[in-house]
Structure 1
Amino acid sequence: MSKAVVGRITPMFEQYLRIKGENPDSLLFFRMGDFYELFFEDAEIAARELQIALTCRNPNQETPVPMCGVPHHAVENYLGQLLEKGYRVAICDQVEDPRQAKGLVKREVTRVLTPGTLVEDASLSAKTHNYLAALLFDSGKGLGALAWIDVSTGEWSGFEAKSEPALWQWLVKIGAREVLLPGGVKPPHQFADLKGLITPVPELFFDHRAGRDRLLSAQGVAGLDALDLHDKPFLTRACGALLAYLVQTQRQEMRHLGQFRPLNMGRYMILDELTERNLEIFRTLDGRNGRGVLRTVIDRTMTPMGGRYLEHRLRHPWREAVPIERTQAAVAFLVVRHETREALAALLRDVHDLERLSTRISMGRASPRDLAALRQSLAVLPRMAGLLRAAVDETGDAPEAVVKILDGWDDLSDLHAVLTAALVDSPPLAITDGGLFRTGFRPELDELLELAEHGESRMQELLESERRSLNLPRLKLGFNRVFGYYFELSRTAGQESPAHFIRRQTLANAERFVTDALKELEDKILHAAERRRDLEHRLFLELRQEMAQARPRFMDAAARLARLDYWQALAETAVRHEWTRPELHKDLRLRIRAGRHPVVEAVQGQANFIPNDLFMDEGARLLLITGPNMAGKSTVLRQAAIIAILAQIGSYVPAAEAQIGLVDRIFSRVGASDNLALGQSTFMVEMMETARILRQATRKSLVILDEIGRGTGTYDGMALARAVVEELARRAGGGIRTLFATHYHELTSLEGHIEGLRNLNIAVKEYKGDIVFLRRLVPGPSDKSYGIEVAKLAGVPQNVVQRAKELLTDLERCRDGVQRPAHSRQETLPGLVPATDAERAPQIASHPVLAALQALKPDSLTPMQALQRIYEWKDSLENDT
C-alpha cells in the first residue's frame, strides 16, 4: 500500500498509513468519531467476512479508497467474528480529547487482538478456557517445554519434556487457540493440522535471561525458585515468550496474572488427547460438542468459574485418594440435603464471571455494566455463607472441604457497599454515555446533574431573586448567541441600574446587563453536560482502580464459588441419575456392579440401557471380550474407563456399586481412523497408538483396546493381536489392567495359558434365524462372530446374505480339513484348499520357520521386533509357495 494509491494524501491518511505500516499483519480498526473505519485491503476483507457494506472514500478521485466501518459501541461482536476466523485485529483509538486537539487528533494502537489473548465475554466461551501457548524444543539437547496461559483469568502453567511429540500431544489436549513458536519452526508432520494456530515470534522472545526478568517482574518475586523454575530453563523461556507477546499485543504490563505453577504430572491421572477423543469426554468422534459427550451429561454448573473448574478436573483427574475423598464427602453432603443444594444453585445463578470481570477491571477494560455485574455477584456472598453455615451447624460434623470453604470466607461487603452507593441500577454500556452514578455519590456531580437537567429553572430562580431584592418587578431575562444570558430593563429604569449590574448593550428602548452571579450560572449551565461527562469519566476510572486493587479478594471468592458450584453440579447429577458413591483402593481391583455408560444412557433413556457387571483384580487383570458388532463391546470398554475417571474427579458413578483401584493413566484405542493427508492408513494409526500404549502403560494404568489388528490381513492381524495380549499380560511385573475386545475367537483359547487372562462375551440369542442383542456381559468366549446376521439386520440384500452363508460354510470346512460337498457352487476357495496329512507333515517338519520359532525367546523381544519377525516369516512362507 503506497501513498500513490490514495492520490493526494491527507494528514489523516498519512497517520493511517503510518500506523498500518507498524501493524501489517493485522486488520486495523481506525477510530473516527463514533465509528471504527477500515480502508484498502482491510476494508475488503472485513466487508466480505462480516457481510457489511463496502463503500469508498474520495469516490470522485481517480483511485477511490475502499472503506467500511462499524459503530464503536457494537465493535465487540464484529471482532469476535473476525477472531474466530483466525484474523488478528489492531485497535487504533483516539488518545487525546478531540476538543483539545490542535489539528489532527492523535491516534495509536491500544491493543492487538488475537485468538489467544481475548478477555471480552462476547468473544469467549463462558465455561471453557481460552489458552495461548508457547512451545520450544531443542533436538540437540533433547529437551523442550510447553507453557500455556488463559489471559482472561490469569491462570497459567506448563512443563518440560524430553519428547517433542509429548509436547505437541499435550498442546492438542489443552485445545490452545494460539501457539507461539520461534520464527521458522514448523510443527512435526503428524501435527500439521495445527498450522493455522501457529504465530511465529522472534527468537528473542524465547531468550532465557530476558524471560527470567519478565517472569520475576510479572510475578513480583526475587528468584525463580519461588516459582519452582530454578531448574527448568526451557520452561522459563516458554513463559518469557508468553509475557513478551502479551506486552506486545496488550500494550501494558501483565499485572493480573496468578502465580505460575508448573504442571505436576504425578498428582493427576494422565488422559492423553487420543483417550479424551475416543471416550468422547468433550467432543464426539466427529468433532461436535453438546449432546453425546460426557461433559454435557454432568455439567450442571451455574457459573462460568464452576464450568471451567469442571473442565479442568475432567482433563486432570486426581491420582491420590485424599483430594478425591474430600470432594466425595462434599458432594455427599449436598446429595442428602436437597433444599440446601437447590438454594445453593439458585444463588449461584446470580453470580457472574468473577475471574474474567476482575481481569477486565485490572486491565482497565471494564465497562459500567461490568461493575454492575460485579455488584450483583457480590450481593450473593453473604447469603451463600449464611446458607452453608446453617447446613454445617445442623450437621454438626460437616465435611472438611465444606468447612475449609467457610474458613476465611470474605463477603466483600465493603466493596459491594461502594458499588451500590456509586452506580445507578442500570448503567449505560459506555463510560461516555453519562448517567453512571447515583444522586448523592458526589456533591459536585449532583450540582452538575442539577444544572444539566434544571438549568432554566435555576435561571428563573436567579431572576426572581434579583426582582425581589432590587424591587424591579419588570426585570426580564433574555438570551442571544452573541451575549448569552442577560438581564433587561427599560431605558428609563436602566438609567439608575444597580451597582452590581454591568452594562452590555444599549437599545432604543432598553438596557441590557449582566452580573457576576449571572455569568457564573451561565457558565455552569452551558458547560454542565460537558463537565458532567468529564467528571463521571474520572470518577469511573477511580472506582475501577479501587476495584482493581481488590483483585486477590475477587479471585479468592471466585475459587471458593467454583468449588461450591462443582460440588452441587456433581450432587445434582448423582441424584437425577441415581448414581452411587464409589470406594477407592490402592490395589488393582476394578469391581463395578450394574455399571452404565452415562452418555449412552442419557441418549437412550435409563429404562432402555442394560447395566453390566465388571470385575478385575490380581487374578483377572486382562479381560478378553468377544461378541458380534453392535452387541455393545465398545460401550462396555468405554463405560469402565469413564467410571474410573468420574470416580477420580470425586464424582458419584453410574453403577449400583463400584470399587476402584486408583488409576494413574487411561489408554484408549477404540475405533478406526486414518490420516491420509500424512500418508498414514487406518492400520498405521492403529499401530502407532498401540505402540504408545505398550511403551507408556504402567501397572496402575487402565488400557482399553478394541479390535487390534483388524486393519491388515487376517493372519497378520491375529498374530499381532495375540502378541499385544501376551505383552500386556507380561508387562509391569504381572500384567496391566486391560479390557481387550476382539473378533479373533482364536484368542479365547489363551485362557488357562496366560496368567490373569479371562474370557467374557456380550450375550446374543438366536431366534428363528435372527439374532437378538442382549447387551449383557457374561463369562466365557463367544461361539461365533454373527457378522452375516448383523449384515442382514443392516439391510444387505437377501441374495448376498445367503451367498455369504454358503461361503462361510466352505471356509469353515476348509479350516477344519473337511472334504467339500460335490454340489458346492465353487470347487475351491483360493488360498484355503486343505492339504492332506501326508502333504502337510513333511512341510511343517522341515520348514525353517518352525526351526526359527522353536529357537525364539519371546521375552527378549520388543513388540516391534516381534512384528518385524512375523513379517519376515510371512515373506519366507510366501516365497516357498
Structure 2
Amino acid sequence: MSKPKLTPMLEQYLRIKEEYPDALLFYRMGDFYELFFEDAEKASRELQIALTSRNPHADHPVPMCGVPHHAKNEYLKQLLEKGFKIAICDQVEDPKEAKGLVKREVTRVLTPGTVVEDLVHDQGENQFLAALFLDDQSGGGLAWADCTTGEWTGLVSRDPDVLWQWVGKVAPRELLLPRDCRIPAGQGQMTARVTHVPIAGYFDPKGAQDRVLRAQQVASLDVLDLADKPLLVRCCGAIVAYLTQTQKQDLTCLAPFSPLHLSGQVMLDEVTERNLELFTRMDGRKGKGTLLHVMDQTMTPMGKRLLGKRLHQPFKDLAPIEANQEVVRLFFNDPELTDKVRAALDTVYDVERLSTRIYLNRCTPKDFVALRQSLSRFPRLQELLQEVAQPPRLLKKVLAGWDNLEALGELLQRALLDNPNHLITEGGLFKQGFDAQLDELIELTEHGEATLTRLRDKEQQENHLSKLKLGFNRVFGYYFELSKASKEPVPEHFIRRQTLVNSERYITQELKELEEKLLSAAQKRKSREYDLFTRLREQVAAMRDRFMAMAGILAQIDYWQGLGHAARRWSWVAPRLHTGLELSIKGGRHPVVEAVQGSASYIPNDLHMGEDGKVLLVTGPNMAGKSTVLRQTALIMIMAQMGSLVPAEQAYLGLCDRIFSRVGASDNLAQGQSTFMVEMSETARILRQAGKRSLIILDEIGRGTSTFDGLSLAWAVVEELARRQGGIRTLFATHYHELTGLEGDIDQVRNLNIAVKEWKGEIIFLRRLVPGPADRSYGIEVARLAGVPMPVVQRAREILEQLEKSSKRQHGQAVREMVTREPLLPGLAGTQADDAPHAPQSPDLHPIVRELQNMDIDGLTPLEALTILSKWKQHVHNR
C-alpha cells in the first residue's frame, strides 16, 4: 500500500510530534488548535467532540479534530484531569510576515503535576510533582514540589517502604520514576500520573547537582542542607529537569529548598490518615464527612493549604502548639474581630499562585486585577490586627513583617481597567490617563469620528466655509467637499483631489495625517498596550519575594481565625497539653459525626489513660459506637497538636509523636492481598514502629480469620502493647470477650464498654463509654435492626442457642478425652475415666489428674484454663 502524500503543514506537524510522542499535540492553525492522526482519535473520544478528516475524499484521509483557541482551557482541563500530557504548539511568527509555511514551536507542555494555570487544581490544595529514586545499597530519596507556589521539600530513608508511604501521604498529581523502577504491589491504589524518565538527564548525580545549584542560584549544596544527601539531590535534579522541559524556561521560581525535618512533627502515615478520614472518606471522596471539611473555616486558598499542611503534619513540641493556640484563642474570644478579619480576607485572592503565574509569564490581565483587589485589603487587615490590645507573640511577629506594597497597589489601581480584555494582544487593558501615548491612540480608536468632525468644524470656522462637508471613499480616503455654488474662496492649503458636476473634493495635510493615524491607531493601540503590559508584568514579577512573604503571613492569619471561628461554631475548648503520657478527656465528641448529626443528637464520652492503664479494651455490640470513640480520641489529639481547640468539655493531653490507626476492613485483591492480609500488614507496621509516646487505635484485630487464630493474635498484640516500654497508649476495640479477662492479670490493661440497655426485647444503644467489659455482642439483634428478615433472625437465635450448648459439651468432652487417652505431661499416664462428672479418686492418681477430675469444665473461662495450664507446666518443670 502506498503511503499518503502529506502536505507541508502535516509534515511540519509530524516533525514536531516526533519530539513529543507521549503527548497530545495541540497544533495552532488560525483561530483553532487542531489534532491529527491518533491524537485526534483520542481527543475526540475523551472530549466528545466531532472527529472529521483532512482531505476526506483522498485515498488516505487524515483524522482530525479541533477546539477554538479562546476556549482551549476548558478542553485542556478535561484532558489533564484524565491524566493526559499535552504539548501546546503555537505560531511563533506573524502569518502576515511569514514566507511560506508559518513557523511553529511547542511553547508549553502541560501535565497534571506541572500546569500553572487554574486547570486541574483545587485552589485550596497543593499540586505536587514528586520524584522518587531508590538505591539498593543506600535506600532512597523522595522530593516533591508545587510549581504553582514554589514550595518544595523532600526526605531520605534507608527503608524504601517508608518512602512509598510518603508517596501515599503526599498524594502527588504526578510522580517521576527512573525507567527501571516499578511500583510495589501495595501502591496499587495510587492516583498520581506515573511518568518514567531516563536516569541520564534527570536522575544522574552530576547533572542533577548542577541543575539544582543553577535553579536555586547558589554555589554550594550546603546552603540547601543537601551536601550529605546525594539521593535527595538526584530527586531534586529530576524535578528541575522536568519542570524546565515542560515550562520551556529556566526554573528560578522555586523557593529555597529545605529538607523535611521529621523531628518537629507528629507522624501520621497514609493508612492512619485514611482510616481517620482526615482528608477523604473511606469511599475515597472529599468534602463532607472529613475532618478537613469540619475544620476548614478559612477564607483564602493560602489559609486552606496551610490548614491541610498542619493536618498532615501536626506539631510535636509543646512550644509551637501553645504559641498557635494562643492566637486561635484570641479569635475564639473576640467574635467581632474575627468577623471583621473574615470580611477583609473574603476578597483576598490566591496571592501565591497569582504571583507565580505572573513571574512565569503565564498570567492574564484578570490576574493583575485579582492581585490589585488583594492588595487593597492589606491595609485594612493590618489596621484590625494592630488594634488588638495585647497581641500574642506570634501575632506580633506577623505584624513586624507586614508589607502593604502600597506603591505597587497604587500603580495597579492607576493602570488597569476593572474588566480588562482576557487577551493581552487585543488591547482594552489600561485606563486613560496612565500613558499619554496610549491616551492619544485610545482617543483615535474610540472617538475617531468625533476627531474628524472637530477638524471639519475648525476649518469651517477659520476659513468661513459654512457649507464645508466631510466625506470618505475607498479610492482616496477622507476628503472635504465644497459645492460649486459656494461663493467662499478655497483656502490655499486645500488640495483638489476630485471634480464632480456640482462640487469639488479636497484634502489637507492635516486631514491625511489624521487619516493615517486613524487607520493605524487600532493596531498601534494593541501594540502599545502589549508593551505596557509586558513592562508592568516585569515590575510585578520583580516583587515576587515580597508577595510570597505576605502570602505566608495571610495564610497564618487565615489559619488562626478559621480555627477560632470553627471552635466557636462547634463549642470547642482549649486543651491543656503536657509532656507526660496521661491522657484525660471529659465530654469528648467526634467532630465530624457531631457536625453531621448535630450537637443535640451526640452523646459525649469521658476517657482516661494513665499509669493505672494505658491499654484500654473497648467492647460492645456493633453499631454501639466503639469505632467512633476510638477515632474521636485520635482526632482530638491531632487537633490539639495543630494548635486548635478541641470538641470536649475538658482535655488534659500528653503529647504524641506518632498516631497509628488500624480501623475497618479493606482488601487489595488486585495485588493478591485479602482483607486479613491487609489487616495484618497494617498491624505489623504498627508493632514495628510504635514507641513510648505513640497513640494507637486498633479496631477488631484478628476478625478476618478463624476464631482461635484471631483470638490468639489479638491476645498476643494486647500483651505486646501492654508489655513494651511500660505500656503504649492504646485503644483496642474487640468482639473477643475472652480478652476482657486480661484485666487484673496484665498490667496496664483496663476494660471499657459501650453501654447497651435491653427493654421489652429491644436493645437501646446508650452510646456511653463505661468501665468494665460488655456482657455479650448482640450481633443478632443488630442484624434485626439492619433489616434482616425475621425468619432468618429467629432461626439464628435458635442456632446460637444450640451452638452455645454444644460448644460447652464438646469442650468438656474434649478435655476429658485428652486426660484419659493421652499422656498430657511427662510422668503422667492416661487413665480410663467414665462419663461421670466426678470419677472416684484413687490415692495412686497423679495430683494433676485428680485436679482434672474435680474441675468444672463447662464453667471454666479461657483465661482460667490458661492459668491452670501455666501452673501445671511450672509444676512439671520444678520436678
- TM-score, with structure 2 as normaliser: 0.90
Query: Partner of 2:425: helix, strand, or coil?
Result: helix
Question: Which of 368, 371, 378 is equivalent to 1:371?
Answer: 368
The CA deviation at 1:246 is 0.5
Query: Partner of 2:70: helix, strand, or coil?
Result: helix
Question: Which of 645, 650, 661 is equivalent to 2:638?
Answer: 645
**Equivalent residue, structure 2, for 1:795:** 787
Task: Assess if the C-alpha contact under 8 Å between 1:815 and 1:834 holds in 2.
Answer: no
Quote the Cα distance in structure 1 between the aligned partners of 2:509 and 2:101: 37
**Equivalent residue, structure 1, for 2:244:** 247
Residue 778 of structure 1 pairs with residue 774 of structure 2: no
Task: Assess if the C-alpha contact under 8 Å between 1:494 and 1:511 holds in 2.
Answer: no
Question: Which of 667, 677, 684 is equivalent to 2:677?
Answer: 684
The CA deviation at 1:493 is 10
Question: Which of 804, 808, 814 is equivalent to 1:835?
Answer: 814
**Matched letter for residue 381 of structure 1:** F
The CA deviation at 1:54 is 2.4
Question: Which of 687, 708, 719 is equivalent to 1:726?
Answer: 719
**Matched letter for residue 116 of structure 2:** V
The CA deviation at 1:382 is 0.3
Partner deviation per Cα, 1:241-263 (whole Å, 9 max, x = no partner): 00000111110112211111111
Question: Which of 606, 609, 622 is equivalent to 2:615?
Answer: 622
**Matched letter for residue 184 of structure 2:** P
Structure 1 residues 440 and 691 mapped into 2: Cα distance closer, same or farther (>3 Å)? same
Structure 1 residues 464 and 196 mapped into 2: Cα distance closer, same or farther (>3 Å)? closer
Deviates more, 1:841-850 or 1:425-434: 841-850
Quote the Cα distance in structure 2 between the aligned partners of 1:582 and 1:502: 92
Residue 587 of structure 1 pairs with residue 587 of structure 2: no
- TM-score, with structure 1 as normaliser: 0.90
Quote the Cα distance in structure 2 between the aligned partners of 1:652 and 1:331: 8
1:348-497 alignment, distance < 5 Å: 348-390=345-387, 392=388, 395=389, 397-470=390-463, 476-487=469-480
**Matched letter for residue 524 of structure 2:** R
Task: Assess if the C-alpha contact under 8 Å between 2:737 and 2:774 holds in 1.
Answer: yes
Structure 1 residues 327 and 844 mapped into 2: Cα distance closer, same or farther (>3 Å)? farther
Quote the Cα distance in structure 1 between the aligned partners of 2:297 and 2:444: 51
Residue 759 of structure 1 pairs with residue 774 of structure 2: no
The CA deviation at 1:615 is 0.3
**Equivalent residue, structure 1, for 2:824:** 845
Question: Which of 537, 542, 546 is equivalent to 2:539?
Answer: 546
Task: Assess if the C-alpha contact under 8 Å between 1:811 and 1:832 holds in 2.
Answer: no
Query: Partner of 1:650: helix, strand, or coil?
Result: coil
Structure 1 residues 496 and 350 mapped into 2: Cα distance closer, same or farther (>3 Å)? closer
**Matched letter for residue 94 of structure 1:** Q
The CA deviation at 1:716 is 1.0
Question: Which of 102, 108, 112 is equivalent to 2:109?
Answer: 112
Query: Partner of 1:379: helix, strand, or coil?
Result: helix
**Equivalent residue, structure 1, for 2:552:** 559
Query: Partner of 2:35: helix, strand, or coil?
Result: strand
**Equivalent residue, structure 1, for 2:64:** 67
Structure 1 residues 838 and 25 mapped into 2: Cα distance closer, same or farther (>3 Å)? closer
**Matched letter for residue 624 of structure 1:** L
The CA deviation at 1:567 is 1.0
**Matched letter for residue 213 of structure 1:** D
Quote the Cα distance in structure 2 between the aligned partners of 1:181 and 1:324: 37
**Equivalent residue, structure 2, for 1:828:** none
Task: Assess if the C-alpha contact under 8 Å between 2:621 and 2:778 holds in 1.
Answer: yes
Structure 1 residues 13 and 611 mapped into 2: Cα distance closer, same or farther (>3 Å)? same
**Equivalent residue, structure 2, for 1:76:** 73
What is the aligned residue count? 829
Deviates more, 1:423-432 or 1:505-514: 505-514
Question: Which of 128, 134, 138 is equivalent to 2:135?
Answer: 138
Quote the Cα distance in structure 2 between the aligned partners of 1:595 and 1:122: 41
Question: Which of 83, 86, 96 is equivalent to 1:86?
Answer: 83
Structure 1 residues 612 and 606 mapped into 2: Cα distance closer, same or farther (>3 Å)? same
Deviates more, 1:17-26 or 1:299-308: 17-26
Task: Assess if the C-alpha contact under 8 Å between 2:583 and 2:608 holds in 1.
Answer: yes
Task: Assess if the C-alpha contact under 8 Å between 2:666 and 2:678 holds in 1.
Answer: yes
Residue 707 of structure 1 pairs with residue 707 of structure 2: no
Residue 15 of structure 1 pairs with residue 9 of structure 2: no
Residue 577 of structure 1 pairs with residue 573 of structure 2: no
Residue 530 of structure 1 pairs with residue 523 of structure 2: yes
Structure 1 residues 742 and 506 mapped into 2: Cα distance closer, same or farther (>3 Å)? same
Query: Partner of 1:834: helix, strand, or coil?
Result: helix
Query: Partner of 2:813: helix, strand, or coil?
Result: coil
**Matched letter for residue 757 of structure 1:** V
**Equivalent residue, structure 2, for 1:749:** 741
The CA deviation at 1:11 is 2.9
**Equivalent residue, structure 2, for 1:695:** 688
Structure 1 residues 849 and 458 mapped into 2: Cα distance closer, same or farther (>3 Å)? farther
The CA deviation at 1:801 is 3.1
Task: Assess if the C-alpha contact under 8 Å between 2:467 and 2:486 holds in 1.
Answer: no
Quote the Cα distance in structure 2 between the aligned partners of 1:184 and 1:676: 25
Task: Assess if the C-alpha contact under 8 Å between 2:497 and 2:506 holds in 1.
Answer: yes
**Equivalent residue, structure 2, for 1:863:** none
**Equivalent residue, structure 2, for 1:568:** 561
Quote the Cα distance in structure 2 between the aligned partners of 1:847 and 1:489: 138
Residue 160 of structure 1 pairs with residue 156 of structure 2: yes
Partner deviation per Cα, 1:586-641 (whole Å, 9 max, x = no partner): 01011000101111111111111111101001221111111111111111110000
The CA deviation at 1:42 is 1.7
Quote the Cα distance in structure 1 between the aligned partners of 2:367 and 2:828: 76
The CA deviation at 1:101 is 2.8
**Equivalent residue, structure 2, for 1:864:** none
**Equivalent residue, structure 2, for 1:314:** 311
The CA deviation at 1:172 is 1.0
The CA deviation at 1:410 is 0.8
Quote the Cα distance in structure 2 between the aligned partners of 1:301 and 1:568: 7
The CA deviation at 1:223 is 0.8
The CA deviation at 1:815 is 4.6
The CA deviation at 1:544 is 1.2
Deviates more, 1:514-523 or 1:687-696: 514-523
**Matched letter for residue 563 of structure 1:** Q
**Equivalent residue, structure 2, for 1:738:** 730
Partner deviation per Cα, 1:654-687 (whole Å, 9 max, x = no partner): 0000011110011111111111111111111111
Task: Assess if the C-alpha contact under 8 Å between 1:355 and 1:558 holds in 2.
Answer: yes
Partner deviation per Cα, 1:12-60 (whole Å, 9 max, x = no partner): 2232222222222111111222222222222222222112222333334
Task: Assess if the C-alpha contact under 8 Å between 2:172 and 2:192 holds in 1.
Answer: no
The CA deviation at 1:776 is 0.8
Query: Partner of 1:431: helix, strand, or coil?
Result: coil
Task: Assess if the C-alpha contact under 8 Å between 1:76 and 1:123 holds in 2.
Answer: no
The CA deviation at 1:812 is 3.4
**Equivalent residue, structure 1, for 2:296:** 299
Quote the Cα distance in structure 1 between the aligned partners of 2:339 and 2:465: 72
Task: Assess if the C-alpha contact under 8 Å between 2:408 and 2:540 holds in 1.
Answer: yes
Structure 1 residues 328 and 792 mapped into 2: Cα distance closer, same or farther (>3 Å)? same
Task: Assess if the C-alpha contact under 8 Å between 2:302 and 2:551 holds in 1.
Answer: yes
**Equivalent residue, structure 2, for 1:866:** none
Quote the Cα distance in structure 2 between the aligned partners of 1:627 and 1:59: 72
Task: Assess if the C-alpha contact under 8 Å between 1:187 and 1:195 holds in 2.
Answer: no
Structure 1 residues 548 and 609 mapped into 2: Cα distance closer, same or farther (>3 Å)? same
CA RMSD of aligned residues (A): 2.5
Quote the Cα distance in structure 2 between the aligned partners of 1:577 and 1:468: 78
Task: Assess if the C-alpha contact under 8 Å between 1:814 and 1:833 holds in 2.
Answer: no
1:252-271 alignment, distance < 5 Å: 252-271=249-268
Partner deviation per Cα, 1:398-436 (whole Å, 9 max, x = no partner): 211111111121111111100010011211222133211
Quote the Cα distance in structure 2 between the aligned partners of 1:17 and 1:587: 68
Instruction: State the identity %.
Output: 58
**Equivalent residue, structure 2, for 1:103:** 100
